[in-house]
Amino acid sequence: MAQLAQANAFRPRAPWDDEVMREFVLALDPVNSLAEASPGFVWRLHPGEGHGAVVVEGEATPVLVNLSVWAAYPLLHEFVYKSAHASYLRNRSRWFEPVAQPAAVLWWVDDGDQPTAAQAIARLRYLQRYGPSARAFSMRQRFEPDGRPSPRRAGPRDTPPWRPADRRSSR
pLDDT of amino acid 117 = 87
pLDDT of amino acid 56 = 56
Parent domain of 130: 2-169
pLDDT of amino acid 168 = 46
Give the pLDDT mean for 130-157: 89
H or E element: which one contains 152?
none
Contact 104, 5 (CB under 8 A): no
Rounded to two decimals, the pTM is 0.83
14-18, 29-33, 82-86, 135-139: which range is least confident on average?
Answer: 14-18
Confidence check: pLDDT of 36 > 50: yes
CATH number at residue 78: 3.30.70.100
Confidence check: pLDDT of 85 > 90: yes
Contact 61, 3 (CB under 8 A): no
Q: What is the pLDDT of residues 106-115, one digit of tens each?
A: 999 999 999 9
Count of domains observed in the chain = 1
Confidence check: pLDDT of 52 > 60: no
Residue 167 and residue 81: Cα distance in Å, rounded? 35
Q: What length does the chain have?
A: 171
Residue 145 and residue 80: Cα distance in Å, rounded? 21
Confidence check: pLDDT of 89 > 50: yes
